[in-house]
A and B are shown apart, each in its own frame.
Chain A
Amino acid sequence: MSRYTHQNPLLIEGSVPGRRGVRTATLDVPAHSLGDMLGAENLRRELPMPELSELDVVRHYTSLSHHNYSIDSGFYPLGSCTMKYNPKVNDRIAAMPGYSRIHPLQPEETVQGALQIMYELQAMLAEIAGMATATLQPAAGAHAELLSLMMIQAYYRHRGEEGREVVLIPDSAHGTNPASAARCGFTVQTIKTGSNGNIDLSGLKAALSTQTAALMLTNPSTLGLFETRIAEICELAHQRGALVYCDGANMNALLGIARPGDMGFDVMHFNLHKTFSTPHGGGGPGGGVIAVQRCLEPFLPVPVIIHKDGRHYSLEEDRPHTIGRIHSFYGAFLVAVRAYAYIAGLGADGLREVAENAVLNANYIRAKIAESFPAAFPQTCMHEVVVSAGGLRRHGVKALDVSKRLIDYGFHPPTNYFPLTVPEALMIEPTETESKQTLDTFCEALIQISREAEDDPELLRTAPHHTPVSRLNETAAVKKLDVRWSTGG
């Protein structure tokens, strides 16, 4: 990135009055007055849009892309985000006009291929989850959490158990879990992590009551650990009439190894952009999927895809217990196409290899850096390892400084300060697609940084040193809010 340290002007700063860009159409019908057709009172006076040539636009965005770290650029061990390689062939497939150029309201008989993809992908994901069925409607993981909680709410309303208003969530959970629960009107109660990194069972027992609607667990947890007593946990919750939700953000660890449905979970979500390699797009589009056991099937959002007589696929809306519609159409279809292609390309053996190598890579890093950055919990981890930079505090160096210094070595930093329960946390998720050489270079960089922390802590505190901008003033960004350019328009 050091070659590209110039500042990029804003689009509006390059605008020249009268300059024009792409011409996409030509008028070939007789022209009438716009005022007559639209009503003069409805017309806008000014359209304050930039005026650029096509080449101006190409250079602008190409230049911006040079200032954006990506999986294609290098190692991106952002914990809990599963930044694995996104196969190019899946993009080619999603761009086929048979997928990208169909309208969601076309007659059903003209989109049988699209419905087939969705139906089959649901079945594949239900099999991977060990659940009865799945829906592709949610637009992202947090959306899936919200809809799952709506389904749980509908389930209890249907059973006349209106008093179940509490959702139990571990202190290590993703912020989306409590935020989704609150959005549904549930009260959030926090469960503590035990000294071994797993849920504190006695705390859980004490918290479970007839008011508990659900327990939301991430497994493997955000500490990168498998919840070893998960079957017992699910059993305990069920005994108190509560449902158990699996945040499947970390499913990359378990593909073909173990299934949430077999552990006792009632409902779970997948992130297609994590586990199933669809591009994260700089923060979306994501793809959320909910897989459920039979008890929650009646409450699935509409439409539901059905396969009549084993031949014709159709969209069914008339379902009495559904929570309703939750997306303008059917979720992120072109993301689903990529996920379908990914699974079809890997098959059962390939998916198992994903889990094996994801977990192998994470444990390799755990072992290699243990002396400089000990794992928060020493046992075998799953797809990611949470280490602490707390040992560098004595040099006045924080996890953030280590992260920023990693940028100088050409790496994207791990997730830092999460989970909140680990001091100076660095959450490292290498994924299965990274090679031993990459991991070696990364580990050496971390070890070198820990030495630098001792010898020259200022070097870390002022890092990164070779980026287009150095550390940015986030406080000033809030105090003097500037969230748009000003054109007076």
Chain B
Amino acid sequence: MSFIANTIPEQAAMLDTIGIRSLEDLWDPIPASIRLNRPLDLSPALDEQNLVRHLQRIADANVHLDRNLSFIGAGIYDHYCPAIVSALASRGEFATSYTPYQPEVSQGMLQAMYEFQSLICDLTGMDMANASMYDGATALAEAALMAVEVTGRTRVAVSEAVHPHYRQVLNTYLRSAGDEMILLPARRGITDAASFEDLLKGPPACIIGQQPNFFGCLEDVSNYSNAAVRCGALSIISVDPFTLALLKPPGEMEIDIVTGEGQSLGLPTGFGGPLLGIFACKRDYARRLPGRIVGATTDSEGRRGYVMTLRTREQDIRREKATSNICTNEALMALMASIYLVALGKEGLRETAEICVQKAHYLQQHLENELGLKPLFQSKFFCEFAVTLPIDGDELNQRLLQQGIIGGYNLRRRYPQLPDSMLVCVTETKSRDDLDRFVQAMKECIAS
């Protein structure tokens, strides 16, 4: 199955046109000493039917969310994805196109990206957004590097309540560029506001937080912008855009850059990829932004049309002086997120988000009232919360798995200083029965 159209007689005719005798002659430029003189060591080719069967068999070794109840979030959220999203995004016209270098034949994707940027701006309350980044973690790292460029400072302050993986990625990027990361401690699940005071002594390039933070708690985002203004730094908040259906947009709190993971907007959990990095900022930084940006303009007859714009920031034009090295980003994922946002619409988004909040609080109360599992932190939360456990989190998860339930995220994996605890996530995909079943299972598993 190599999907090749040319027949052998056609190949012969083509060789004739080229003026060579055999396919082998095509390799003349490659010295024999470095040619592969054996077939690649790969499994025998499979026809389509056997290919599907083979990959179905491997897939069957995975426990998936359609068959098993899951309460794990921690950066990837199992929201219901309406049929319309994949039905439209999988259209070949979108899926098998590439970066719209030729705008006249790419108006569809260009307009879709302009609309995506607009939706992200409306959701975050920011002035402008790009047409996507790889994922939430790299979007955050790029934002930090942008702040380093803008301020000329080399230290980056980040809250301990930011996703541990994001902090690791940030650290990888900063270390390579010769920059330094300072950790702002969290107290009772919330970034310690007192630690912002210390930053005045040695002002950083930026101050980075997350909303809701990794523990599920709601932070006072204005602390970040206030502190940033005081020390001449940029404020950066990583968000779960889904929660912005209800929560105050960071733009209202004068945040400089908003990044985030867009997976919660109708994308599959997909073992964590491909994802959708979101990047939005104040207009002041228009020429510093990494990634593709689509702008509206007019054609020679005055008709509205869309093009990639502010191109002089980009690697194919500026080479080593570009604002980022990013080229291919996540256009199709951005398209899916847009379809999700508008398919649910203003009312549907608010309603779905509220259902998540209601159900998460229902479960938290039942775990506390029926099992005596106290919340680890007292802060307000959206749809994810930490509960203290009387036993080890990994042990509990093992027992839950026996009952076909994927439990929460064991916080001690990344925060060894915390007591035994679990980060539990509830979305609209869990029915009341599911929640009651989880409470019962937790009861049995803790007792056993």
In the bound complex, do residue A363 and residue B26 qualify as a contact, i.e. CB atoms below 8 Å apart? yes
**B62 close to A (CB within 8 Å):** yes
- In the bound complex, residues from chain A placing their C-beta under 8 Å from that of B76 are 103-105, 329
- In the bound complex, residues from chain B placing their C-beta under 8 Å from that of A42 are 218, 247-248, 380
Q: Which of B40-48, B188-196, B199-207, B440-448 contacts A (4 or more CB under 8 A)?
A: B40-48
- In the bound complex, residues from chain B placing their C-beta under 8 Å from that of A57 are 84, 88, 339, 342-343
In the bound complex, do residue B97 and residue A474 qualify as a contact, i.e. CB atoms below 8 Å apart? no
The CA of A155 and the CA of B407, in the complex, are separated in Å by 40
Q: Which of B29-37, B227-235, B367-375 contacts A (4 or more CB under 8 A)?
A: B29-37
- In the bound complex, residues from chain B placing their C-beta under 8 Å from that of A65 are 88, 91, 93-94, 108
For chain A, the count of residues having a C-beta within 8 Å of the partner chain is 209
- In the bound complex, residues from chain A placing their C-beta under 8 Å from that of B343 are 21-22, 52, 54, 57
In the bound complex, do residue A327 and residue B169 qualify as a contact, i.e. CB atoms below 8 Å apart? yes
**B135 close to A (CB within 8 Å):** yes
**B293 close to A (CB within 8 Å):** yes
CB distance from B215 to the nearest CB of A (A): 15
Sorted nearest first, the 6 A-B pairs with minimum C-beta distance are A98-B59, A329-B272, A104-B272, A347-B45, A281-B332, A72-B92
**A217 close to B (CB within 8 Å):** no
The CA of A139 and the CA of B330, in the complex, are separated in Å by 9
CB distance from B208 to the nearest CB of A (A): 15
User: Which residue from chain A places its CB closest to the CB of B271 in the assembled complex?
Assistant: A333
**B315 close to A (CB within 8 Å):** yes
In the bound complex, do residue B102 and residue A407 qualify as a contact, i.e. CB atoms below 8 Å apart? yes
Other than the known A54-B343, A334-B274, A470-B300, what 18 A-B pairs have Cβ atoms closer than 8 Å? A29-B432, A42-B247, A68-B93, A68-B109, A102-B63, A102-B65, A105-B409, A124-B42, A142-B315, A283-B328, A329-B275, A357-B4, A382-B29, A403-B102, A433-B4, A464-B104, A469-B104, A484-B127
In the bound complex, do residue A360 and residue B11 qualify as a contact, i.e. CB atoms below 8 Å apart? yes
Can you list 15 A-B contacts (CB < 8 A)? A10-B118, A19-B345, A27-B354, A68-B94, A105-B74, A127-B40, A130-B36, A258-B34, A279-B332, A282-B109, A330-B272, A333-B270, A473-B299, A474-B309, A482-B297
In the bound complex, do residue A230 and residue B34 qualify as a contact, i.e. CB atoms below 8 Å apart? yes
In the bound complex, do residue A99 and residue B62 qualify as a contact, i.e. CB atoms below 8 Å apart? yes
User: Which residue from chain B places its CB closest to the CB of A24 in the assembled complex?
Assistant: B80
CB distance from B330 to the nearest CB of A (A): 4
Q: For A44, give its contact among B39, B136, B247, B300 (CB under 8 Å).
A: B247
CB distance from B440 to the nearest CB of A (A): 16
User: Which residue from chain B places its CB closest to the CB of A154 in the assembled complex?
Assistant: B176
CB distance from A104 to the nearest CB of B (A): 3
**A161 close to B (CB within 8 Å):** no
- In the bound complex, residues from chain B placing their C-beta under 8 Å from that of A359 are 26-27
In the bound complex, do residue B96 and residue A37 qualify as a contact, i.e. CB atoms below 8 Å apart? no
In the bound complex, do residue B104 and residue A470 qualify as a contact, i.e. CB atoms below 8 Å apart? yes
In the bound complex, do residue B332 and residue A285 qualify as a contact, i.e. CB atoms below 8 Å apart? yes
**A445 close to B (CB within 8 Å):** no
The CA of A7 and the CA of B166, in the complex, are separated in Å by 41
The CA of A12 and the CA of B307, in the complex, are separated in Å by 19
In the bound complex, do residue B27 and residue A257 qualify as a contact, i.e. CB atoms below 8 Å apart? yes
CB within 8 Å of A: which B328-378 residues:
328-333, 335, 339, 341-352, 354-355, 357-359, 361-362
CB distance from B141 to the nearest CB of A (A): 9
Q: For A347, give its contact among B25, B43, B339 (CB under 8 Å).
A: B43
In the bound complex, do residue B98 and residue A280 qualify as a contact, i.e. CB atoms below 8 Å apart? yes
In the bound complex, do residue A331 and residue B172 qualify as a contact, i.e. CB atoms below 8 Å apart? no
In the bound complex, do residue B295 and residue A21 qualify as a contact, i.e. CB atoms below 8 Å apart? no
Q: For A477, give its contact among B98, B145, B295 (CB under 8 Å).
A: B295
The CA of A460 and the CA of B38, in the complex, are separated in Å by 49
Q: For A284, give its contact among B20, B74, B330 (CB under 8 Å).
A: B330
In the bound complex, do residue A257 and residue B30 qualify as a contact, i.e. CB atoms below 8 Å apart? yes
**A206 close to B (CB within 8 Å):** no
Which of A64, A185, A354, A472 is packed against the most chain B CB atoms within 10 Å? A472
In the bound complex, do residue B320 and residue A188 qualify as a contact, i.e. CB atoms below 8 Å apart? yes
CB within 8 Å of A: which B51-65 residues:
51-52, 54-56, 58-65
